[in-house]
Amino acid sequence: MRIQNKFRERRQEGKAALVTYITAGDPSLELTSHIVLSLEKSGADIIELGIPFSDPMADGPAIQHASERALRSGTTLTSVLDVVTKIRKHSEIPIILFGYYNPFLAYGLQKFSKDARDAGADGVLVVDLPPEEADEFKIHTDKMGLNMVFLLAPTSTAERMRLIGERTTGFVYLVSVTGVTGERPTMDYSLEALVGEIRRYTKLPVGIGFGISTPEQAGKIARFADAVVVGSALVRIIEKHGSNGKGLLGEISGFVQGLSQACYHGSEFKA
């Protein structure tokens, strides 16, 4: 219930939740847990912890390179679960394991669901697993109390909104653009009407991600979404400063504090 409780808390504060993505194992597994704790301290509400994969087809260059670095350093799904266990000794921040289907399948869907629950994860988002094909996995995640989050696109039909509204748990993730992850200089703020349409089919919170990289963009999205998701911009900070542990955490902290402040309704960053 960590995810649901966090959304409830932020709604009571008049704030959109800030969801931050990082790739586990980049720049190292040891630093990953420190980065997560720094994200939380700086204002992140939910963590998407990326499972590195050799063919991240939905991701742009920043996250592709992060996956490559993490895989070269020996990061595996097992070691990521160990990191979650380590984080849980210090934090109750909601953690969603974000990845591609193949590593979960290779690990074993039933075994993964139990081990993820035992490690302290709260949910899973499988980029290349559509809801129509998710039953084999979802039966195990449901049994273990893990949320399974599905993606909606700007081109999604009403029928698909209804399907995902019925099947997703935790929150609905609306991809802001058709294409891969990555920072973009401009955002399509007409998504507000689409969010309103999605809310016809679900009472779950609606989060928006892909392309959000500045406090100004976050603030404008926070006017009408329940969550703002930021990933590639953070991953680029890690890429740039990853060799300097303390300096890296300082850079992350400053960036996330600005995003968090922008997520308040009525923020100075909003149009």
pLDDT digits (tens, 9 = 90+) for 160-218: 999 999 999 999 999 987 544 544 445 555 799 999 999 999 999 999 998 899 999 99
C-alpha angle 181-148-177 in degrees, rounded to nearest 5: 25
pLDDT of residue 60: 78
Confidence of residue 146 (pLDDT cuts 50, 70, 90): very high
- The continuous run of DSSP H or E covering 21 comes out as strand 17-23
**3-state helix, strand and coil shares in percent for the chain, rounded to the nearest 5:** 50, 15, 35
Ordered structural domains, the chain, with CATH = 2-262 (3.20.20.70)
What residues are labeled active site? 48, 59
Give the number of other Cβ atoms within 10 Å of residue 158's Cβ.
11
Cα-Cα end-to-end distance for the chain: 33
